[in-house]
Amino acid sequence: MIGCCGAGMWSREVEAAAGSGQINMEAIFHERQEGSLCAQHCLNNLLQGEYFSPVELSSIAQQLDEEERIRMAEGGVSSEEYRTFLQPSGNMDDSGYFSIQVISNALKVWGLELILFNSPEYQRLGIDPINERSFICNYKEHWFTVRKLGKQWFNLNSLLMGPELISDTYLALFLAQLQQEGYSIFVVKGDLPDCEADQLLQMIQVQQMQRPKLIGEEPAQSRDERVQKTDLEQALDINHPFDGTGMLDEDEENFQRALALSRQEIDMEDEEADLRRAIQLSMQDSSNSHSNKARPQIYISQLQVQMHWEQIQEAI
């Protein structure tokens, strides 16, 4: 990112961008949200640099508290108003929130002042919003800046991943929409500090193809893929519940099939072995009929042996 700058020499990167007519959005200073420090981010995005820290804003808030305490004490330190005032500060809290008074006093250091955009006094001026330089917007405890850099407007909301380009024709509608949503809008009057991004955008224009996402916002494509994946997993769970039984049943079936084949092969081998022994014994009986009269007769003919052997070969 590029912070505040004077009217010094252009960096080589900026010269290259200007020469090509292109600029990366990162050339615009943009602080992203940290905790509840949106007032700090709002000011630094407005001024385009790290001008204020939480410590400096806390110092301004404490100074405001002390000035208000002195004024309240003039009515008596025992008054109900004074005792009520001694409650926790209304200009800041432990989360990092700072009031409009703190923001206003911080801008006075740079000769800038805030005017309520929808006040009757300002509306009577009839100024077209595109002729202003910047706005500060507030809703509840969130602050953000809308600023013109060069010839283009940008939403520098710290809740966004980066600056958002706003066209001139859309600016008035954007501000009107914020008002409808309950935002308070302040016009920043005065000369803002010079910055390199403003000088560069006087020469060239930014083109933004896609709106920056909110911090933590999931890309639509990833979200759709996740939803589709979830739907597919649910369908698979319905058709094939993953409780282990389906897998066990399939394994058991395969095991039983393999066992049956193994038994069949063993039976065939045993039957073949018996047949060979029978043939051998038959041949021995034929050649040694006189010398082996004491041995039991083998009741199997050569033809039966041959037929049995062919049946086994066909089975194999």
Distances (CA, A) of 249 to 207, 239, 253, 254, 275: 61, 15, 6, 9, 39
- Contact yes or no for 219/32 (Cβ under 8 A): no
Query: Would the pLDDT of 279 be above 50?
Result: yes
pLDDT at residue 95, rounded to an integer: 81
User: Catalytic amino acids?
Assistant: 38, 142, 157
Q: List the structure tokens of 97.
A: 């929130």
Which ranges in the chain belong to alpha helices (H)? 12-20, 38-47, 54-73, 80-85, 100-108, 120-125, 168-180, 196-203, 220-239, 245-287, 302-315
Question: How far apart, in whole angstroms, are the C-alpha atoms of residue 285 and residue 277?
Answer: 12
Q: Which residues contact 184 (CB under 8 A, 6 or more apart)?
A: 116, 137, 138, 139
Flag whether the pTM goes above 0.95.
no
Give tens-digit pLDDT for 130-186. 999 999 999 988 999 999 999 999 999 999 999 999 999 999 999 999 999 999 999
